[in-house]
Structure 1
Amino acid sequence: MNPAPAVPDEGAATEAETRGHTTITARVVEKIASRALAEVEGVRGAAGRFAGLPFGGGTAAAAPRVRARVDGGLAMVRMRIRVAYPAPIRQVTRDLRALVMSRVGELTGLRVRQVDIDVARLTPPERAGGRPL
């Protein structure tokens, strides 16, 4: 008895090259890096500046500045941050760099080649209400 020939199921997966591809944009990498930034103790965003003076108020001016570039399967990230005084800058940036590389890799499958971090300034410790001491 000959078995019946296998009929491909219409819902079956096709070969990878015929299914298309997913593109991860730089904007996605920037958002992931911004979220990771909020998880590191002692890191804050960098306020916007005009003619060397900070401007704006509230959370919009204090938002982190994150830029990313994606080239094939590689991502490069540049961040401008503030660090809360007296947090150790070297440790804070090391922790931030490791977390950004890990999160972007886990969530996108991209390999993060570098994370450049500019520490724009040190900020005073905050009171319970979110205002500087």
Structure 2
Amino acid sequence: MTAEAARTATEPRPPDGGLPEPAERGTLDIDRTVLRKIAEHAADEVAGGARVRRRLAGVGLGEHGASAHVAGPDRELRIRLDVVLRYPAPVRETVRRMRERITAELERIAGCRVRTVDVTVSAMVRAGKRQRVE
């Protein structure tokens, strides 16, 4: 242990843990890929959404749920979301719940504020059947 580390370890810490002021702690940048995945995961957790197998030029790409695009600064995120819903899920209600869930999760996990969530329902599939979207 260095002399500096020993001195720091024995000094009493203030009740707040001895952290520097927030402005002096530095910054945190969260990659847009992480924010996109949070939004997609949040949308996929809402009842009424569907996961579908996707194919491109005859090649299976696996099973996918919601697809999101994230733009804007952290305090005014704009989300574009493409989803497949289960038929006969109520579209407006399901989309409203997706918007609320995405907004809450991005605020809770990343501290970001969502300005808009634009949703495109690209397909509806019958509940209980696995469908393929090409």
Name which of structure 1's ranges 17-26 and 83-92 shifts more when overlaid on structure 2.
17-26
TM-score (norm 2): 0.73
Residues 1:19 and 2:21 are matched in the alignment: no
How many angstroms apart in 1 are the aligned matches of 2:38 and 2:128? Answer: 26
Amino acid across the alignment from 2:100: A
2:110 to 69, 86, 108: 108
Q: Which runs of 5+ in 2 are unaligned?
A: 1-10
Is 2:52 the counterpart of 1:56?
no
- Runs (4 or more) in structure 1 with deviation over 6 Å come to none
Percent identity, please.
28
**1:39 and 2:45 equivalent?**
yes
Q: CA deviation at 1:95?
A: 0.7
- Partner Cα separation in structure 2 for residue 115 and residue 126 of structure 1: 28
Residue in structure 2 matched with residue 29 of structure 1 by the alignment: 35
Looking at structure 1, the residues matched to 93 and 59 of structure 2 have their Cα atoms a distance apart, in angstroms, of 29
Q: Normalising by the residue count of structure 1, what TM-score does the alignment of the two structures yield?
A: 0.74
**Which of residues 75, 78, 85 in structure 2 aligns to 1:76?**
78
Query: Which range moves more in the overlay, 16-25 or 117-126?
Result: 16-25
Answer yes or no: is the 8 Å Cα contact 2:78–2:115 preserved in 1.
yes
What runs of 5+ residues in structure 1 fail to find an aligned partner? Answer: 1-6
| 8 Å contact from structure 2 (residues 106, 112) kept in 1 | yes
- Letter of the aligned partner of 1:43 in structure 2? G
- The whole-number CA distance in structure 1 between the counterparts of 2:24 and 2:96 is 41
Structure 2 counterpart of 1:86, from 68, 85, 88:
88
